[in-house]
A and B are shown apart, each in its own frame.
Chain A
Amino acid sequence: MKKLSYDLVVIGGGPAGMAAALKARENGVKKILICERGSKLGGILEQCIHNGFGLQYFKEELTGPEYATRFVRKVLQTEIDVKTDTMILEIAEDKKVIAQNGIDGLFEIETKACILAMGCRERTREAITIPGDRPSGVMTAGAAQRYVNINGYLPGKEIVILGSGDIGLIMARRMTFEGANVKCVCEVEPFSSGLVRNKVQCLDDFGIPLYLSHTVTKVHGKERLEGVSIAKVDERKNPIFETETYVPCDTLLLSVGLIPENELSKSVGVDLDRVTKGASVNEKRATNIEWIYACGNVLQVHDLVDNVTEEAEIAGKSAAKYISGGFEKRKRSIHVSPGNNIGYVVPQRIDYTNSDEKIIKLYMRVRKPDEKVFVVVKNEQGEIVGKFKKDTIAPGSMVSLSIPVIKLTEDTSSLTVSVEKEGESI
């Protein structure tokens, strides 16, 4: 078995992995290896040929492949080793990573630190246990996106989409461009789960109806999909069967959630957050295992790749600092937890003094949409550490808040983030 040695192994060559590796390199890490299981760098961006990427990070509107290419070029120009078609089989506790590919065979990498950047997978029809037949023609929106944009084939002509996740909305438009008829999008929640701009640009502009509080109750068709039953759901998301309607279609696309791919992380003992299903991390994006960092969609599912890049740069920079000696720890860690109408907050804890930083950014998702609210961060004493006015909040749009480091005293032990309405305090 071949043995290699690196300072840093980055698992995943998508936007998170590339940005993390570049930042680590910029901060002095010499021997870096990116392992990518696909056949080239870029990750899922390769198939995201629509625009809207890079507005924050590059202040330009790019397509997915364009956004990825900017990083791929840089990686290739930098002394960073890349192995594609390479699968990581195991991360071992003694800082070893076992990988395999067709060229090197099965090999072991000794490393000083590791950054997890494996991205996420789509929730399936099976996972949400939609009953009915099991014909072909039922697939996740991302799989359909790959067939259309990379392979150049159309999965079907008459489409129903379940779930208003961003990929589902993007695919509604994409399939329409291809001449297919997207008959409707059903969303089990009473609100759209994707970005507002995607709803407008991908559904409204093409007259595709979005039915909120509706779900697919049954899949019909023994060989190829022939139709689906859809029905309204009650407040507890149970189908109201009197409202059930049969819709003939040959394709059902699912965009019902993304799940960070953390099987590898779990196997080495990385603690996961029950809500994000990603690692529980500190402000440096270090997991409970000090030499393992996480960033991008494997840590929390992002709406915007720009945020992925930003987060990956934190992880890359931090891993570099860890390799070269580490940070100054706080006397006590600060636990960051979600309060009223907040689903989760990343990072989950603050471990270091951060004396060289001015702010710490907290990322979160709300549970329910609301308008004209304040997102308030309080410490264990109930003192306000930050208060931010938001005109609208929705689960589909990640919220980020900048907390001044100066507001975190030696004694601060916890922060709670809550949504508050004007005039009321919770």
Chain B
Amino acid sequence: MEGEWDMKTDVLIIGGGVIGCGIAHQLCKYNFDIMLVEKEADVCMGTSKANSSMLHDGYNVDKTKLKGQLVLKSTKELYQKMAEELHFDLNICGSLLPGFVEADWDAIYHQFQMSAENDIRGVRIVGQKELHELEPHMNPAAKFALFNPNTGVLNPFELTIALGEHAVQNGAKVLLNTEVTGINSSGGRVTSVVTDRGIIEAKVVINAAGLFSDHVAGMVETIDYTVKPRKGVYFLYDKQYGTYIKRAIYSTPTTVSKGLIMLPTTEGNLLCGSNAIMHDEKDDLSTDLESLNHIYAEAIHKYYPELPRMGDVTTIFAGNRAASNTEDFIIGHSKNVRGMINLIGIQSPGLSSVPAIADMVEDLVREVGENLNFGIKDYYNPTRPKPIVLRELSYQERADYIAENPDYGTIICRCETVSKGEILDAIRRPIPATDLDAIKRRTRAGMGRCQGGFCGPRVVGILEKELGISPLEVTKKGKDSYILSMQAKELALQEGGSSNEKVIL
């Protein structure tokens, strides 16, 4: 890399999550250079990839907090417009907060009152009959519910990738596998960012490093806040349950549970989660039996007793919310170094606040980017071309695409009906997918019920050919997550085999 590495940009964004990509999307229309660096092998690798995928309208937020104000500004209409321009799946399905017993009523009524205070329209309390008409599979013991027609679900991978790709199409550069190790400043002004691949000069640096944003902010000056991971565990059910629940269902907060959600994903699965465990390891995404049992008992089984604990579960996963010690978003300039903008503690409702956060960051950039040209690029295009997703098309449309490109005819992932053509597209898109999980997030290959058991070896073969690499270099999610360790026979013949030590219990 050295020698050819001579990197310079006007605005440098640290972090390729939904916030970093959202800011790149916001700023890419202007006549200055944007670069985004991401330490992982793909964008959408942190909090953005493992969350409830809900679009909150903020009906119950505290307006005195920044996060409350920003989510209220980020209306569903803004998301709908964004979905039309950038093409990601968004379903304004509504939500229900059901109650079983008298004690639940107070909580529900309180939430109803908050929606009125926050000027949210359409929120109402529904009785038992209507509740079960709305959600026929729900436990008959549920007696009433708070109904909010404005709540939505979106595809967080698609959203993040769409925002990032749109920025790239409009001139932004995205550097993956690039970790920031330091930030240089001079004369009270930020000058460059040090990465493990070289130094990048920048006029404005935006810290959207999510869970690691406190660490990055601390590279510039002493800070008085921290970001701690707050883990949430999820169940994702098989697509046969895709319409089993029609709306997002909140569980009523109880003494043992803070409130869990169950919802139909835009992709047709059923998502249930998540609890909240404070811990210290920011990259620990492990699930645990206690959480799984808790979520199953307190949410899934309580509301939908027919859902199984295992078997028709497509996967389980965990995400870490980036919670600041103030329990609010902290968005603003560094105290002592000009040109550094920090976004700290963007946890829920961060996914639902992207437009307002991006607006706010633009204002901050204008404040410190005196030399930036805020004229609109002549080639700026507000829309991102829609990726081809064959399973969403009519048979005739699919036939037309296959006639044009036979690769669309060859199905690689049988569970989710993903063609070779779509996988090749994902590898060739503006932010290229170069590992199995990146292909999975873009195409759903490997995201179905066999979890890549069938298509995994075939996708490895496609990556091998398309990227011109050895299968040994293909990874699940970058870094050391290799799939294959060596060629067959090599171990037995060249190395004489591994040890023969057995587990003795």
- A: residues with CB less than 8 A from B are 1-2, 37, 85, 87, 89, 98, 100-107, 121-122, 124-129, 131-137, 139-140, 142-143, 146-148, 150-158, 160, 177-181, 183-184, 207-209, 211, 214, 217-220, 222-224, 230, 239, 245, 247, 250-251, 261, 263, 266
Question: What are 15 A-B contacts defined by CB distance under 8 Å?
Answer: A87-B411, A105-B403, A105-B409, A124-B451, A124-B453, A127-B312, A131-B288, A146-B457, A154-B487, A177-B492, A181-B500, A184-B505, A209-B502, A209-B504, A245-B505
Inter-chain pairs besides A102-B410, A132-B287, A251-B485, 15 sampled, C-beta below 8 Å = A100-B402, A100-B409, A102-B407, A105-B403, A136-B476, A140-B450, A153-B471, A153-B486, A154-B485, A154-B486, A154-B487, A209-B502, A214-B505, A223-B481, A250-B485
**Judging by beta carbons under 8 Å apart, are B479 and A223 in contact?**
yes
**Judging by beta carbons under 8 Å apart, are B491 and A157 in contact?**
yes
Q: Complex: how many Å from CA A240 to CA B274? A: 26
- Note all chain B residues with C-beta closer than 8 A to A101: 409-410
**Judging by beta carbons under 8 Å apart, are B483 and A179 in contact?**
no
**Judging by beta carbons under 8 Å apart, are A151 and B450 in contact?**
no
| Contacts of B420-436 to chain A: CB distance below 8 A | 420
Q: Does B375 contact A (CB under 8 A)?
A: no
- Note all chain A residues with C-beta closer than 8 A to B476: 135-136, 223
**Judging by beta carbons under 8 Å apart, are A181 and B285 in contact?**
no
**Judging by beta carbons under 8 Å apart, are B483 and A155 in contact?**
yes
Q: Does B475 contact A (CB under 8 A)?
A: yes
Q: How many B residues touch A, CB cutoff 8 Å? A: 78
**Judging by beta carbons under 8 Å apart, are A102 and B402 in contact?**
yes
**Judging by beta carbons under 8 Å apart, are A127 and B310 in contact?**
yes
**Judging by beta carbons under 8 Å apart, are A208 and B417 in contact?**
no
B311: nearest chain-A partner, CB-CB = A127
Q: Complex: how many Å from CA A119 to CA B503? A: 34
Q: Does B454 contact A (CB under 8 A)?
A: yes
**Judging by beta carbons under 8 Å apart, are B289 and A131 in contact?**
yes
Q: Complex: how many Å from CA A211 to CA B309? A: 25
Given contacts A127-B311, A184-B502, contact A153 B488 (CB under 8 A): yes
B406: nearest chain-A partner, CB-CB = A102
Q: Complex: how many Å from CA A101 to CA B417? A: 12
Q: Complex: how many Å from CA A180 to CA B491? A: 7
CB distance from B41 to the nearest CB of A (A): 10
- Note all chain B residues with C-beta closer than 8 A to A125: 451
Q: Complex: how many Å from CA A413 to CA B406? A: 53
**Judging by beta carbons under 8 Å apart, are A179 and B495 in contact?**
yes
From A87, A129, A148, A177, contact of B414 by CB (8 A)? A87
CB distance from A208 to the nearest CB of B (A): 7
Given contacts A153-B487, A154-B491, A223-B481, contact A37 B411 (CB under 8 A): yes
From A124, A151, A208, contact of B502 by CB (8 A)? A208
- Note all chain B residues with C-beta closer than 8 A to A154: 484-488, 490-491
Digitize B464-505: 1 where CB-to-A-CB distance is under 8 Å, 0 elsewhere: 000000011001111111111111111111011111111111
- Note all chain A residues with C-beta closer than 8 A to B396: 1
CB distance from B310 to the nearest CB of A (A): 5
- Note all chain B residues with C-beta closer than 8 A to A128: 310-311
